[in-house]
Amino acid sequence: MKQQGKQRVRGGGAVWAVAITSMAGFITALDNLIVTTALPSIRKDLGGGLEDLEWTVSAYTLTFAVLLMFGASLGDRFGRRRLFAIGLAIFTTASAAAALAPGMGELIAARAAQGLGAAIVTPLTLTLLSAAVPAERRGAALGVWGAASGIAVATGPLIGGTLTEHLSWQWIFWVNVPIGLALIPLALLRLDESHGPNPTLDLVGTALASGGLFGIVYALVRGNTDGWTSTEVLGGFIAGAALLVGFVLYELRAEHPMLPMRLFRHRSFSAVNAASLLMFLGMFGSIFLLSQYLQTVGGYSPMEAGVRMLPWTAMPMIAGPLAGALSDRIGGAPVVTVGMALNAVGLGLWAITVEPHVAYTHLLPALIVCGIGMGMFFAPSANLVLSTVRPEEQGIASGANNAIREVGGAIGVASLAAVFSAQGGYGSASQFVDGLIPALWVGAGAVALAAALALLMRRQRKADSSAAGLAAGSAPAGAVAN
């Protein structure tokens, strides 16, 4: 018989569970941003244009986003430890394939496979960890798990730049292989099997959501190349929108929906998710272009560019805990609102300051402001999401929010790159800046709109304690509890 939620962890117990799940969370979170500082080197080595670079990033984030909740369901049905090991095997194999890719097409396909593996692994890390660690020690364990994912996101551009400069861009993918090969047997030997209470799979909903989001992102990526009124682009927008409408209608009637639409009846849940999508749209799209600017226009090496991104990407490690404590005192909504407003201001400062030969010190204030704003967003927004639903729905609510964030990132890369290529390009430093400035203003506008939507959230004096525990592990890579 299948175990239903109970798990007897093998010798080593909680320590092994924390180590295994935290390291797995680290490598899957790392691949969100590790590729950004390697993009100029990839373009130089494999050729291709802006469209190919977009898909190098979006193939991972989009696949990860649309399959995140489905991955959790697979674990519930077929066994969490088993699927965790399978997901690691897919992610590790895809990482090796990306490193060996002879061209952009093969690299993009490998990145999509990485996203599939990460979508299976990531939600199960939190599920396995929660089952393995006694309740009285779970908060500390979640803190370690969350710190691992947070460090991965913060240092992703730096690690990517360092490996690219001192070895080659292929090593941003090779680095996953030995870790994955070590984790697979450890998981099978040190973790026991368990199954979830709801072993159903929403295959129709997954297919509709995946097809709809792919159609919209594809149209955004191809718009400048094929023309925004071309049959291919309009067809992508129309088909994508139709499939997403079909997804909503199907989920409203499904007995076991992947994304219960009833959750969106809560005003705060709808507002924080809409704001999260717009926040990641502006943030990921901007990082995609700014990391290239530092190398292409600024003349920095990949590692130097990664170091110079740290005031933005690493600042949440400092600002996040302070924002969490502040949100306990005054509520999460005002903290999140101010955080997103600061991000919009930071992107606006970039747009005002950036030029072909500007000194890095002139750009530093914008980076710091964006970093503080991002730190004020993450933990309080996770608490807000979880505090709007019943305890038994917190897993699906967390999964929905993290999937929506990743979708926002994929759309952000595609839409801001479309603005960039319409107004500029890679021909010269001036041409790059000509495209970058309007793209940054679009990103700033998206995040400003997110801040306005955050005003619709109801004020809450103190986040639910269980939500706070899960929020401690929140990171851009996301997670689902089951």
Q: What is the mean pLDDT of each run of 10 residues along the chain (482 residues)?
A: 44 77 86 82 84 82 81 82 93 95 92 92 80 68 68 80 89 93 92 72 83 83 77 89 91 82 83 88 87 86 85 77 75 84 93 88 90 80 73 70 81 86 85 92 93 75 42 40 36
Residue from 202, 447, 245, 207 nearest 237 by CA? 245
pLDDT of 142 reads: 63
Residue 154: what pLDDT?
A: 73
Please give the backbone phi and psi of residue 195, each rounded to the nearest 5 degrees, phi first. Answer: -130, 155
Measured CA to CA in angstroms, residue 202 lies from 72, 249, 251, 258, 467 at distances of 11, 14, 9, 6, 26
Nearest to 129 by CA among 105, 118, 149, 145: 145
| Torsion, CA 71, CA 73, CA 76, CA 78, rounded to 10 | -70
pTM over 0.75, yes/no: yes
What's the full length of the chain, in residues? 482
Residues 402, 473: contact at Cβ < 8 Å? no
Q: Rounded to 5, what percent of the chain is helix, strand, coil?
A: 80, 0, 20
CB atoms within 10 A of CB 12: 15
User: What's residue 312's pLDDT?
Assistant: 83
Measured CA to CA in angstroms, residue 341 lies from 313, 422, 427 at distances of 17, 27, 33
Angle at 471 between CA 466 and CA 472, to 5 degrees: 105
Nearest partner of 350 among 306, 295, 287, judged by Cα: 287
- Of 228, 185, 242, 192, the closest CA to residue 14 belongs to 192
**Where are any strands of DSSP class E within 320-474?**
none
| Structure tokens that stand for 178 in this block | 């030995």
Reduced to 3 states, what is the DSSP secondary structure of residue 195?
strand
Residues 6+ apart with CB under 8 A from 200: 73, 77, 255, 256
Q: What is the pLDDT of residue 458?
A: 64
Looking at the chain, the number of H-run helices and the number of E-run strands are 18, 0
Structure tokens at 158: 């730096």
27 in Cβ contact with 165 (< 8 Å): no
φ and ψ at residue 168, rounded to 5 degrees: -170, 165
Task: Please give the pLDDT value at position 171.
Answer: 93
- Predicted confidence at residue 278, as pLDDT, reads 92
